[in-house]
């Protein structure tokens, strides 16, 4: 998990820097392009790479055929994807009422080529061969190269085109690093290293694993769309780059709670899978209750602090120009928490061997979001987009919650829910009534976070098992 930290930090640094340097309108265009980039990453980063990783780790012999065939399939998919972007770029730009986007969209298609290859090599080949050190180097090198190239081109005056060129060059160089490690893979294909891999299975199980990966791929794509497509909807319905820029700033900050939760989600999925495979339903119920408690324990106070100081936070990080997005940020923060809890419940459902739930629900929730966006954005603008996302997130959580409760007859302790909600509510009130601006805002967060944990302690909600859980997370991040 620690290897993901540089990417997250660099993404936030780039977003904040571009919002200030490019101005709100150009930053809005960047937001549209980054939505497309994240959609591409979701498509190429899930499915085939994960299936290849499982096949390689489970192979007991020669994997040269798997290596060659998977590379060939990924190339075909990538070229088709890139051609769609390039051929239909003008039409898509016209659909968004902005022909100036044409060449940017074409460039996004070109960027998808090295992006898909890096995903296959890193998440597929290297992960399958358990070359975790090399994989970590790639995941660290990519954001560092991206940051360097983006700021270099900005200094040279290339602005948005330079930003995309920075993304492209960093991916190309990372791909060449992957090719260097490919030599190690080729030399390892028939070596004792593969023979020693303890996982069971062989290449003949490819179809089974690919069918398992397919719904997860569609689900990942659907949920990436769910979290990013509102920016494209705003561009389409309002045709206002400044409005898109403000929403992009709010949306980027609102993702913080969700990103913090990711390690918990991965841990939960693994734990639920093992407990379910052993038939230990009691343990599954315990994991469900504990995980939901930890999500609320960590994310509710964070959301309370950020929502109560949304205007000051936007001004501090992005500048006064983006302060109008304060209400949007508050709504999106709540949506982010709802999606984080939904993600925990979806991990439970996937962990017990029902991956199609995420695929089907993801598609249905996208339809709901589309309908609400059509209804609310033209009349309410950015607030309408935030409300549409909030309602969709609430429906997603309700559906997953009912499904999990029907399966296991449990969610979380009512007492813990009440105590955590009460302490978070008190923290919100204090943050609303007392907060500073600028750098002193961080002092607010530190003091009020201390108040929150003090309240939890006084209510007897902090337990010894919580300390053990934190230690596990720290160990997981190493």
Render pLDDT for 38-67 as a digit per residue (tens, 0 to 9).
888 887 876 677 777 766 766 655 566 677
Report the distance separating Cα 358 and Cα 366, nearest Å.
Answer: 12
The string of DSSP letters for 26-72 reads HHHHHHHHHHHHHHHHHHHHSSHHHHHHHHHHH--S--HHHHHHHHH
Q: Retrieve residue 88's tokens.
A: 């239909």
Compute, in degrees rounded to 10, the torsion defined by CA atoms 38, 139, 11, 101: -40
Predicted confidence at residue 192, as pLDDT, reads: 41
Least confident stretch, 110-114, 171-175, 222-226, 471-475: 471-475
- For residue 459, the SS3 value is coil
The whole-number average pLDDT for the span 306-315 is: 94
Render pLDDT for 89-133 as a digit per residue (tens, 0 to 9).
999 999 999 999 999 999 999 999 999 999 888 888 887 777 878
High-pLDDT (> 90) share of the chain, %: 49
Report the distance separating Cα 199 and Cα 414, nearest Å.
Answer: 40
Name the pLDDT band for 434 (thresholds 50, 70, 90).
confident
The pLDDT of residue 196 is above 50: no
Report the distance separating Cα 274 and Cα 467, nearest Å.
Answer: 23
Predicted confidence at residue 312, as pLDDT, reads: 94
Name the pLDDT band for 350 (thresholds 50, 70, 90).
confident
How many helices and strands in the chain, by DSSP H and E? 20, 0
Predicted confidence at residue 201, as pLDDT, reads: 41
Render pLDDT for 386-420 as a digit per residue (tens, 0 to 9).
999 999 999 999 999 999 899 888 888 889 999 99
The residue with greater pLDDT, 2 or 336, is 336
The pLDDT of residue 194 is above 50: no
The pLDDT of residue 277 is above 70: no
Q: How confident is the prediction for the chain on average, in pLDDT?
A: 84
Report the distance separating Cα 84 and Cα 326, nearest Å.
Answer: 37
């Amino acid at each position: 998990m620690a290897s993901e930290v540089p990417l997250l930090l660099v993404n936030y640094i780039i977003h904040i820097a571009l919002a200030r340097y490019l101005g709100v309108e150009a930053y809005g265009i960047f937001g549209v392009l980054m939505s497309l980039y994240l959609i591409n990453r979701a498509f190429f980063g899930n499915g085939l790479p994960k299936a290849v990783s499982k096949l390689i780790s489970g192979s007991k012999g020669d994997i040269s055929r798997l290596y060659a065939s998977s590379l060939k399939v990924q190339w075909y998919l990538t070229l088709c994807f890139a051609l769609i972007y390039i051929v239909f770029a003008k039409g898509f730009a016209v659909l968004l009422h902005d022909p100036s986007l044409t060449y940017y969209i074409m460039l996004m298609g070109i960027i998808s080529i090295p992006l898909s290859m890096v995903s296959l090599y890193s998440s597929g080949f290297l992960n399958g061969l358990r070359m975790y050190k090399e994989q970590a180097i790639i995941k660290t090198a990519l954001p560092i190269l991206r940051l360097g190239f983006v700021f270099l081109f900005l200094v040279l005056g290339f602005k948005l085109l330079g930003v995309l060129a920075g993304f492209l060059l960093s991916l190309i160089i990372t791909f060449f690093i992957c090719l260097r490690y490919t030599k190690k893979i080729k030399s390892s294909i028939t070596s004792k290293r593969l023979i020693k891999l303890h996982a069971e299975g062989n290449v003949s199980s490819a179809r089974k694993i690919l069918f398992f990966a397919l719904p997860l791929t569609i689900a990942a794509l659907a949920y990436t769309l769910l979290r990013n497509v509102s920016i494209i909807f705003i561009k389409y319905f309002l045709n206002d780059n400044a409005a898109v820029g403000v929403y992009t700033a709010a949306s980027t900050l609102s993702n913080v709670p969700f990103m913090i939760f990711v390690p918990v989600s991965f841990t939960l999925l693994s734990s639920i899978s093992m407990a379910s495979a052993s038939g230990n339903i009691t343990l599954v119920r315990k994991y469900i209750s504990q995980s939901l408690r930890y999500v609320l324990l960590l994310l509710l106070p964070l959301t309370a602090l950020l929502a109560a100081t949304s205007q000051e936070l936007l001004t501090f990080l992005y500048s006064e120009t983006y302060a109008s997005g304060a209400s949007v940020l508050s709504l999106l923060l709540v949506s982010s928490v709802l999606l984080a809890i939904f993600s925990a419940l979806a991990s439970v459902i996937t962990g017990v061997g029902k991956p199609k739930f995420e695929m089907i629900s993801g598609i249905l929730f996208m339809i709901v979001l589309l309908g609400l966006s059509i209804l609310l954005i033209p009349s309410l603008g950015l607030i309408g987009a935030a409300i549409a996302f909030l309602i969709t997130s609430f429906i997603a959580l309700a559906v997953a919650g009912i499904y999990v409760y029907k399966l296991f007859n449990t969610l979380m302790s009512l007492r813990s829910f009440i105590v955590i909600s009460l302490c978070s509510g008190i923290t919100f009130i204090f943050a609303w009534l007392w907060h500073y601006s600028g750098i002193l805002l961080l002092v607010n967060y530190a003091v009020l976070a201390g108040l929150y944990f003090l309240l939890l302690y006084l209510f007897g909600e902090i337990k010894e098992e919580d300390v053990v859980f934190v230690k596990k997370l720290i160990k997981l991040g190493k």
